[in-house]
Structure 1
Amino acid sequence: MDTSRLKRFAQYARRYLREQVTTKLGVVLAENSAARRENTEAIHKLTENIEVSGKEQVIEQVAYTWFNRFCALRFMDSNRYTSIGVISPAEGQFQPEILAEAKMGHIDEDMVSAQIQGQIFDLLSGTAPSPDAQGEAYRLLIVAVCNYYYEVMRYLFERIDDYTELLMPDDLLSGNSILAYTREAMTPENCQSVEVIGWLYQFYISEKKDEVFAALKKNKKITSENIPAATQLFTPNWIVRYLVENSLGRLWMLNRPQSRLFEQMDYYIKSEDDPPQPPFKRGESDQEYLKISSPEELKICDPACGSGHILVYAFELLYAIYEEEGYAANEIPKKILTHNLYGIEIDERAGSLAAFALTMKAREKYRRFFRKPIQPIQPNICVLKKVEFEEWEVGSGKWEVDNKKLGVSHDYLLHDLHLFEEADNFGALLRPKMSEEQIANLRDYFANLWAKNPNPSLFEHKTHEKVTNI
């Protein structure tokens, strides 16, 4: 993998996208802008977010959102996970395949609604006047594709009906566009492994990381929004394999002495207590270990998962385990994402990439994985967010519960509610006082309690949302 090319691209992309978003921000927020007339709700959300988070944070967020989506779509194009090239042109062509097909009158009806198709055809035929008809049509296609993939990747392709669309870069089709540079950096060779997404993220925030540490030398405190940039580190492949093979792999070998899994674990180290030569025989080791009766019982959690490098390799090893146990190939990806892999992260961007990487592994193993199921399978990646409660929300009498029935101390409950005020700082280091069972019981308790009041006041509704997020 050509990481030097990826680094140059990712650092350039951050600067370029920030400039583009900053320019678009000035245009859409102008006093008499078309956006203010035609997208009043989106403008309201935008100004509200700027007031809460600050202009710089909004610019950073939107720039990265589009970087994330463009890279994800290019990766899927390169591996033919998309039905048509969204970022990539067909062989021998220059424009993205999806636009070239639209110009010939072909648009996927499942991907693009009839209304949007009409707008696109009007632009391309000249019926709808536009100074940049093809560019505008292509932006509509990009938005439609992102909304289409929302069903299977909600963490990455949120429905675009807000200011994110308004702040999309204008130039997406020229030889100097961000997409041209994306294709140049994310070559088919670089996209052979989903690991490329993790490298791109690390390089994208590398300049921000340098800025944070330069400020630290000037005695400027690292704020919570800068912690991800300051602490992000992409774990080398050999370390990932060593960790996974000597934890997950070892546990499986102890439970399945006849397994041949060790043959694909190059970094697996036998313990002195192990039998002299694998395959092991049950009972030959005096070690105490967790007894596993089926692959579904294996649970792997990365408490600071970043872009998911460790979880991705764990997926590979788990797939081999399921195969060895005789599971059907089309069932294995779903079982792994449902039962085996868990990640915790404080950076929403990294958490989205971890979920995306696992979804790509599932698609790699099962080509029909993107077929829309009744309930889409979402990877178990938990992004911890700061949750603050006002005094009136947790004051006396607000959280009285049936202590005898639930076995929960009122003091423990309040402690754990306030604990998440530091979630974006401490992440997986948070230590609730309530047990997992008590927390589960409380969730059910409050869900039933609130179900009896289907029309809470605005303030009560916001409190309910906070508790649910915890």
Structure 2
Amino acid sequence: MNKSAIQKYAIWARNELRDQIAKRGYYFGIDADGINVDGKDETCVYARDGRLLTDTERKQRNELFRLVKEKGFDQVVEEVSYTWFNRLIALRFMEVNDYLPEHIRVLSNANNEFKPEIKTRALDLEDPHFDKKKILNLIDKNDDEELYRYLLLTECNALNDILPQMFEKIGGYTELLLPNNLLKADSVIGKLVSDIDEADWDVKSEGGQVQIIGWLYQYYNQELKDQTFNDLKKKNKKISKERIPAATQLFTPDWIVHYMVENSLGRMWVEGHPNDELKSTWKYYLEEAEQEPEVEEQLKEIRKEYSKLNPQDIKFLDPAMGSGHILVVAFDILMQIYESQGIRPREAAKSILENNLYGLDIDDRAAQLAYFAVMMKAREYDRKIFSRGIQPNLYSIQESNGIDDSLIDYVARGDKKLRSDLKTLVKEMKDAKEYGSIITVSELDYKMLGERIDKLKNDPSLLDIEAIERITSLVKVGSLLAQKYEIICTNPPYMGNPGMDSKLSTFVKQNYPNSKMDLFAVFLEKCIQILRKNGISGLITQHSWMFLP
């Protein structure tokens, strides 16, 4: 794998996407110097070149206008850039491995040339998402750029049906800001095809998908990470909530992940279900050291408990999952465990997604990639997994800021217990993007909360689906933080107390006084708290935890 080429492309792509997306914003009258270029307001109906906007474009621009007022132009550009980056690398991965439903490449052709097959075979597309009349009209106009733009957007929306957490429905400002000139050889798509070896995307290559996805994610953040630490070092500018992912994200090399997972998940299984054949496939598995007799007796009792476990019983959590490397390796080892029990890969893949793997991260883009990586791993074992409607228990942590009593009352509908639980959850999840998995939540009736929300979603009179989705995210994340796990493995975020802003520093001092000096130590303590009795925790830590007060 050519990491140098991957690094060069990812850093360049972030800057190129940001530049092109900013230009699109400017074209529609919005830029970094002011929300409204030339005094244009929210009712603007013309683009910068005087063209009258379509009704759809006006709605999309209004959405962009409101979002820029709320978050600022630069933050919106950053979010749209990584959204398109994630989608493009997902499309590239799927087309190389022939995982796209139509089996038609979107970014290249069968010879790996930057001649998108979807454009040359547009009339062969059978998916109902594609409008044949519109395609014919664009072909007649000989408008290749607009045709490809339409096909790319429609393909992403079609993939929402099978991979909703990766390909969120496009529309609004995200569609509006898709860069121009996509078919140029030096575009973000053109260089994605030409600059990174096709073999690096192949699941059958060494390291497979996780390596390429993880390294692309890390390198995409490289300049932002460098800038964050320069600001901390030279200006004593504390690391903000928005910068924590870039500052703390570090891709974990493959051998380290295998070492951790084989000696936690693998160990728990083979100590309760001895299997030399399984162990022989684990390159980094270490046999138990010789113990004193009294310790050996205790270990025998623990192994008796392990022997009672079925594969479906093992809950495996990565509370800072990044782009999903640890979860994907855990998937492979769980598959070996299931198969050793005579369970077929198709049934095992379904069960692993539903029962075994759990993951959380504060970074929306990382959570998207982890979700994608795990679903692609499931696809290796079950060709029809996308059509089964199964979604893994992997979530981006969302915060409750802005959720008021009126929304809580709307969801509770007079149910006092439900209202009380919701108020508690909303209080505990405030500023959750800052704290992540180290939040402690109460043991609430998450099943009841989930059932109420599902009922509301099916209510035809529901007016604010986005507000309900926010509550849904809180309930899903809260339920994961409230339960116990047999195995926890993670590469925790590293951030010393001097780098923390005042809010995070105060939080860890109040809630983790024994480990407050660094986030990695806080995570070490937190993971022990949410382990089941005799569970196993595997983390990458500094040796300093043994010596610091």
Aligned partner letter, 2:10: A
CA offset at residue 444 of structure 1? 4.8
CA offset at residue 292 of structure 1? 4.0
Does residue 227 in structure 1 map to residue 244 in structure 2?
A: yes
Query: Aligned to 1:285, what secondary structure does the other structure show?
Result: helix
Taking the aligned partners of 2:404 and 2:97, their CA distance within structure 1 comes to 52
Q: Which of 84, 93, 117 is the aligned partner of 1:97? A: 117
Find the counterpart in structure 2 of residue 429 from structure 1. Answer: 438
Does residue 285 in structure 1 map to residue 293 in structure 2?
A: no
Does residue 81 in structure 1 map to residue 81 in structure 2?
A: no
Q: Is the 8 A contact 1:208 1:229 kept in 2?
A: yes
Taking the aligned partners of 2:341 and 2:452, their CA distance within structure 1 comes to 39
Aligned partner letter, 1:344: L
Does residue 168 in structure 1 map to residue 178 in structure 2?
A: yes
Q: Map residues 37-186 of structure 1 onto 2, 5 A cutoff.
A: 37-39=54-56, 40-82=58-100, 83-91=103-111, 94-102=114-122, 106-110=123-127, 112-113=129-130, 115=131, 117-126=132-141, 133-186=143-196
CA offset at residue 140 of structure 1? 0.8
Taking the aligned partners of 1:65 and 1:43, their CA distance within structure 2 comes to 18
CA offset at residue 469 of structure 1? 3.1
Taking the aligned partners of 1:305 and 1:455, their CA distance within structure 2 comes to 37
Find the counterpart in structure 2 of residue 24 from structure 1. Answer: 24
Aligned partner letter, 2:152: I
Aligned partner letter, 2:252: T
Q: Map residues 237-316 of structure 1 onto 2, 5 A cutoff.
A: 237-258=254-275, 260-272=277-289, 285-287=300-302, 289-316=305-332
CA offset at residue 80 of structure 1? 1.6
Q: Which of 347, 359, 364 is the aligned partner of 2:380? A: 364
Q: Map residues 376-395 of structure 1 onto 2, 5 A cutoff.
A: 376-389=389-402, 392-393=405-406
Q: Is the 8 A contact 2:145 2:183 kept in 1?
A: yes
Structure 2 segments unaligned to the other structure (5+ residues): 30-36, 38-43, 203-207, 293-297, 475-549
CA offset at residue 175 of structure 1? 1.7
Q: Is the 8 A contact 1:36 1:43 kept in 2?
A: no
Cα-to-partner distance string for 1:300-329 (whole Å, 9 max, x where unaligned): 110000000000000111111111111123
CA offset at residue 215 of structure 1? 1.5
Q: Which of 214, 217, 220 is the aligned partner of 1:198? A: 214
Q: Which of 464, 469, 472 is the aligned partner of 1:468? A: 472
CA offset at residue 393 of structure 1? 4.7
CA offset at residue 424 of structure 1? 0.2
Taking the aligned partners of 1:226 and 1:466, their CA distance within structure 2 comes to 22
Find the counterpart in structure 1 of residue 503 from structure 2. Answer: none
Deviating more after overlay: 313-322 vs 384-393: 384-393
Taking the aligned partners of 1:413 and 1:94, their CA distance within structure 2 comes to 51
Does residue 9 in structure 1 map to residue 9 in structure 2?
A: yes
- Alpha carbon RMSD of aligned pairs, Å? 3.1
CA offset at residue 188 of structure 1? 2.2
- With normalisation by structure 2, the TM-score equals 0.73
CA offset at residue 464 of structure 1? 5.5
Deviating more after overlay: 153-162 vs 242-251: 153-162
Query: Aligned to 2:345, what secondary structure does the other structure show?
Result: coil
Taking the aligned partners of 2:458 and 2:68, their CA distance within structure 1 comes to 36
CA offset at residue 111 of structure 1? 5.8
Taking the aligned partners of 2:458 and 2:116, their CA distance within structure 1 comes to 52
Taking the aligned partners of 2:466 and 2:348, their CA distance within structure 1 comes to 39
Q: Is the 8 A contact 2:22 2:77 kept in 1?
A: yes
**Distance change >3 Å, CA 246–CA 414, structure 1 → 2:** same
Taking the aligned partners of 2:225 and 2:302, their CA distance within structure 1 comes to 44
Q: Is the 8 A contact 2:112 2:198 kept in 1?
A: no
Q: Is the 8 A contact 1:299 1:341 kept in 2?
A: yes
CA offset at residue 287 of structure 1? 3.8
Query: Aligned to 1:265, what secondary structure does the other structure show?
Result: coil
Q: Is the 8 A contact 1:344 1:384 kept in 2?
A: yes
Find the counterpart in structure 1 of residue 547 from structure 2. Answer: none
Does residue 440 in structure 1 map to residue 455 in structure 2?
A: no
Q: Is the 8 A contact 1:242 1:267 kept in 2?
A: yes
Deviating more after overlay: 191-200 vs 38-47: 38-47
Does residue 418 in structure 1 map to residue 431 in structure 2?
A: no
**Distance change >3 Å, CA 100–CA 389, structure 1 → 2:** closer
CA offset at residue 186 of structure 1? 3.2
Cα-to-partner distance string for 1:83-126 (whole Å, 9 max, x where unaligned): 01111123285411111223xxx33111642x3x2222212222
Q: Which of 330, 334, 357 is the aligned partner of 2:346? A: 330
**Distance change >3 Å, CA 390–CA 319, structure 1 → 2:** closer
Q: Is the 8 A contact 2:331 2:377 kept in 1?
A: yes
CA offset at residue 143 of structure 1? 0.9
Q: Which of 208, 216, 223 is the aligned partner of 2:232? A: 216
CA offset at residue 35 of structure 1? 7.2
Structure 1 segments unaligned to the other structure (5+ residues): 276-282
Taking the aligned partners of 1:231 and 1:395, their CA distance within structure 2 comes to 34
Q: Map residues 447-462 of structure 1 onto 2, 5 A cutoff.
A: none
Find the counterpart in structure 2 of residue 278 from structure 1. Answer: none
Taking the aligned partners of 1:228 and 1:138, their CA distance within structure 2 comes to 33
CA offset at residue 221 of structure 1? 2.3
Taking the aligned partners of 1:452 and 1:340, their CA distance within structure 2 comes to 28
Find the counterpart in structure 1 of residue 524 from structure 2. Answer: none
Query: Aligned to 2:184, what secondary structure does the other structure show?
Result: coil
Find the counterpart in structure 1 of residue 502 from structure 2. Answer: none
CA offset at residue 55 of structure 1? 0.4
Q: Is the 8 A contact 1:90 1:96 kept in 2?
A: no
Q: Is the 8 A contact 1:152 1:378 kept in 2?
A: no
Find the counterpart in structure 2 of residue 279 from structure 1. Answer: none
Aligned partner letter, 2:6: L
Taking the aligned partners of 1:57 and 1:341, their CA distance within structure 2 comes to 32
Q: Is the 8 A contact 1:389 1:418 kept in 2?
A: no
- Size of the aligned set, in residue pairs, is 441
**Distance change >3 Å, CA 467–CA 147, structure 1 → 2:** closer
Find the counterpart in structure 2 of residue 339 from structure 1. Answer: 355
- With normalisation by structure 1, the TM-score equals 0.85
CA offset at residue 260 of structure 1? 2.2
Taking the aligned partners of 1:98 and 1:389, their CA distance within structure 2 comes to 43
Query: Aligned to 1:86, what secondary structure does the other structure show?
Result: coil
CA offset at residue 47 of structure 1? 1.0
Aligned partner letter, 2:300: S
**Distance change >3 Å, CA 66–CA 322, structure 1 → 2:** same
Q: Is the 8 A contact 2:113 2:193 kept in 1?
A: no
Aligned partner letter, 1:380: N
